[in-house]
Amino acid sequence: MIRVGMLTSGGDCQALNATMRGVAKALYKMYGSDVEIIGFEDGYKGLIYADFRILKPSDFSGILTKGGTMLGTSRQPFKLMRTPDENGLDKVESMKQTYRKLRLECLVVLGGNGSQKTANLLREEGLNIIALPKTIDNDLWGTEMTFGFQSAVNVATNAIDGIHTTASSHGRVFIVEIMGHKVGWPTLHAGIAGGADIILIPEIPYDIKVVVEALKERNRQGKRFSILAVAEGAISKEDAKLTKKELKDKKAKGVVYPSVAYELGAQIQEMTGQEVRVTVPGHMQRGGEPCPYDRVLSTRLGAEAAYLIQQKEYGYMVCVKNNDIDKVPLREVAGKLKVVDPNSSIIREAKMVGICFGDEKLKEKD
């Protein structure tokens, strides 16, 4: 009998169930009744406190199209993993003990950046780990694509699509704030797909004067409305030059805005006189059913994880390379972030069709 543990950690997304299903169905196909899958409740928390349940084949039926995670999830910050809990419990040692008491052959971790760092920590502690790339941000180093990303982009794009008609009717400026504190992948893709006029992402600090000039140019061209796709972590060139402490002090002394989208809205309204409205899809981007692309990707990733378990190839994250499913050592993934390259072809092509990123002044016409 082979026993495999499984947990979902960090923020939820649409294709977690689909990915677990891919792992399980492939394992059942390989081992039949000689495999037992143990699911840990609420991510690493379940592993720390031995909160688990034995899953049956029937648990993986009918979940391909269900969003969220049937195991539940929680955020357990990596930087606190070596810090004892309120009762003095050593969390790392506790996870190792749970793993060994259950006689697990392997632990499958579905998670994003922080989860992968903890997965690598457990690998370093001697546990057999297989990781799967989950995040709507698509910011995991070592893989071209993460499951959950395309589904989230679809939701964000639908939000932008829905704004077009009301924006054109009233002749307003609409700002759609899209998830992404450190990277701009979801905003970039949804912005292009939704026909946004201006896209602001963390990797390309913006100049508010350039943004305003782009809006004024649209007005001169007789266009009644403008739509901005703005990442949560978008930052001005001025603020990007500050240290974290300086930025914190600056915000403490100024007007407190709910988010960067509202700050931008206030600045644009003051500088242009145009009405500005802010829309924040928020956690809707994590919800709903996974799109067909993510269902296919999740099934492929899950099946490959099962294959690695069968081959006893541990210490890897399953990944996408050149549209094929591959693997990358966890030690190479942990702690690294895949950001949007401001000089990449997708940025260049977006600028070629007239999208403003707030970093370059409009070229004067001859």
> Can you tell me the distance from the alpha carbon of 189 to that of 340, in angstroms, rounded to the nearest whole number?
11
CATH 3.40.50.460 segments of the chain: 152-286+341-352
List every span in the chain annotated with CATH 3.40.50.450.
2-148+290-333
For residues 16 and 147, give the distance between their C-alpha atoms in angstroms, rounded to a whole number: 8
What's the pLDDT score for residue 366?
38
Burial degree of 34 (CB within 10 A; 0-12, 13-18, 19+) = exposed
Ranges of residues in the chain with a pLDDT under 70 are 361-366
At 168 the pLDDT is 81
Q: Which one from 137, 139, 197, 294 is the annotated catalytic residue?
A: 137
- Written as six digits, the tokens of 351 are 């600028």
* 296 class by beta-carbon count within 10 Å (0-12 exposed, 13-18 middle, 19+ buried): middle
- Whether 66 contacts 17, CB under 8 Å: yes
Distances (CA, A) of 87 to 50, 81, 101, 294: 16, 14, 21, 40
Pick the CATH number of 152-286+341-352 from 3.40.50.460, 3.40.50.1580, 3.30.465.10, 3.40.50.2300: 3.40.50.460
Whether 137 is a known active-site residue: answer yes
CATH architecture of 2-148+290-333: 3-Layer(aba) Sandwich (3.40)
CB neighbourhood size of 161 (10 A): 14
- State the pLDDT at residue 362: 56
Note the helical H segments in the chain: 16-31, 44-48, 91-101, 113-124, 149-170, 185-193, 208-220, 237-240, 244-253, 260-272, 292-310, 330-333, 345-352
Helix H or strand E segment including 325: strand 324-329
d(CA 164, CA 225): 9
Distances (CA, A) of 227 to 68, 197, 198, 356: 30, 5, 7, 11
Rounded (10°) CA dihedral 160, 201, 239, 181: 90
Nearest CA to 41 out of 5, 67, 11 is that of 5
Position 365 scores a pLDDT of 43
